[in-house]
């Protein structure tokens, strides 16, 4: 069963929303991997039928809530998230 918003949202859009909260974070763009679908998204009709639940939180609000939770609960984030990337 897919759990989501039922609306297409690109990885780029989510990255941009996260970056809005962490503006000094590097933004790495890479080509779309071969075979990745364009414009796909998780249909939520089954979730709605079985659970009787519809998403009410937008992606923007969800990212903001998650960022606040990470700030309020720093021990919840794995330590590798705050490490500097290894030189290429």
Q: Domain limits at 63?
A: 11-82
Enter the tokens of residue 68.
């606040």
Domain contains 24 = yes
With H, G, I as helix, E, B as strand and everything else as coil, classify residue 51.
helix
**How many domains is the chain built from?**
1
40-60 pLDDT per residue, tens = 787 888 889 999 988 888 999
Domain contains 54 = yes
Averaged pLDDT score across all residues of the chain: 86
With H, G, I as helix, E, B as strand and everything else as coil, classify residue 67.
helix
80: phi then psi, degrees, rounded to nearest 5: -65, -20
Domain contains 6 = no
Helix (H) or strand (E) holding 7: none
Nearest to 41 by CA among 18, 11, 61, 15: 11
For the whole model, what pTM was predicted? 0.74
């Amino acid at each position: 069963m897919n759990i989501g918003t039922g609306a297409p949202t690109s990885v780029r859009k989510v990255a941009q929303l996260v970056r809005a909260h962490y503006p000094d974070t590097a933004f790495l763009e890479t080509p779309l991997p071969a075979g990745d679908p364009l414009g796909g998204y998780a249909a939520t009709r089954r979730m709605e039928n079985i659970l009787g639940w519809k998403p009410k939180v937008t992606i923007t609000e969800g990212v903001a809530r998650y960022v606040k939770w990470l700030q309020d609960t720093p021990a919840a984030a794995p330590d590798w998230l705050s490490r500097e990337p290894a030189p290429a």
